[in-house]
Structure formats: C-alpha cells, structure tokens
Amino acid sequence: MALAVGLLAPGASAFAYTAKPGDSMWKIANAHHLTLDQIIHLNPQIKDPDFIMVGESINLDTNKVKKPAGVNREAQKTALSPSDRQLLAQLVHAEAGGEPFEGKVKVAQVVLNRVKDPRFPDTVKAVIEQPGQFTPVATGAIHNTPAPSDYEAVDRALATENRTDGSLYFYNPKIAKTRVFNNMTTTAVIGHHVFKK
C-alpha cells in the first residue's frame, strides 16, 4: 500500500483511468481537464470514442500530448448557451443518430460554419430553424432526446471549429432528390452523408 501511495505525488493526476458504467470519452476528458481530441489522441486503441468498455484502461498521460494552441477550454464551455447546445445536439441526433461519431461531429460543424458565413443567419437557433434547410425541423424529428454522444459531438465540433474544412451542406445521396449539390466541392464522405461547400 505504501508503494502505491508513493507512485503519485500529492496533487498529481493519475496516468490511467478505469472506465466505469455511464462513462464516455467526453466525460473522462472533461473530468481530467483534457479536450476530447487530446484523450482520443492518447488512446488510439479505442477505435470508436462513442463506445468504451467498462473496465477499459484510459491513458491520461498529458506529458505525451500538447494542449492545442489557441484553445481556451473555458471559452469552449460558454461558446453556446445551454439551449443552443441542446438544440444542436437534437439536430445531430435527428440527422446523424445512426452515423459514425465523426459524421455527428461534421453535422454540428456544418451548423457552426453557417453561423460564421454571411450567407446564413448568425445564430445556431436561426441557422437550424431557417426554412427549408433541415428536414427534422420540418418533420418535427428535431424534438428528441439527444444521446450523450450527440452532446459530445457538439462539444468536439466547438473545440475544433477553427480547423474545419468549411463544410456548409450535407446530404444522403440515396435519399436526396435535388441536384443542387452537384456543382459544389465535396469536403468529406462519412457514413451515409456527403458533405459539401
């Protein structure tokens, strides 16, 4: 027991964490003052950050990763109001609930990119509710209970919003009947979605 106590200096954070029921990568990262990108980088053995096993060992050795330049964690937390964060998570859930985690992040990035683009409204709520833009708004599917991974995707999109590819649109080519996207630049294909700018 004395040996175990001696391994950690007072106030030092442990280099490993054992996943418990209800844990997610975002919760673990937040609790240990890391960004989601950092904890994913530190744990390449986890192929899907949306799915971690109870009892899995999570590496938290911050000496092996640099904090991203220019990223203010407090600013990230307050970048969206709680209601905007929830609305964006609801859109992510409705549009990309069955998609890979990276696809969820990309859907959130599309909204954040539109907020910055002068061709679109300048708030998250106004972008999401802009008529004719997002099918779940028209159908009412936007009124859902987001999963923890949907909120994680929103937070990751916020943390990386200055490093995006500028995607402003996405669609499922198997469902979409319009050809309006044909002359746009494809930025990514993730799961069933094609992203464009």
- Strand order of the β-sheet with 186-190 is 169-171, 193-196, 186-190
Mean pLDDT score, 123-146: 95
Mean pLDDT score, 115-121: 93
Measured CA to CA, the distance from residue 113 to residue 31 in angstroms comes to: 28
Nearest-CA neighbor of 112 among 159, 70, 51, 145? Answer: 159
pLDDT in tens, 76-105: 333 688 999 999 999 999 999 999 999 999
When the candidates are 1.20.1290.10, 1.10.10.2520, 1.10.3210.10, 2.40.30.10, the CATH number that belongs to 79-196 is 1.10.10.2520
Which residues lie across from 118 on neighbouring strands?
none
pLDDT in tens, 18-30: 888 888 877 787 7
Q: How much is the pLDDT for 196?
A: 94
User: Start-end ranges of CATH 1.10.10.2520 in the chain?
Assistant: 79-196
Q: pLDDT tier at 75 (50, 70, 90 boundaries)?
A: very low
C-alpha separations of 174 from 110, 177, 196 in Å: 20, 8, 16
Q: How much is the pLDDT for 178?
A: 76
User: Start-end ranges of CATH 3.10.350.10 in the chain?
Assistant: 14-62
- Report residue 173 as tokens: 């080519």
For tokens 């985690």, the residue is 101
Which is higher by pLDDT, 129 or 81? 129
- CATH fold, domain 14-62, is Membrane-bound Lytic Murein Transglycosylase D; Chain A (3.10.350)
Nearest-CA neighbor of 105 among 46, 181, 48, 42? Answer: 48
47 has pLDDT over 80: no
Mean pLDDT score, 160-173: 88
Q: pLDDT tier at 46 (50, 70, 90 boundaries)?
A: confident
Which residues lie across from 193 on neighbouring strands?
190
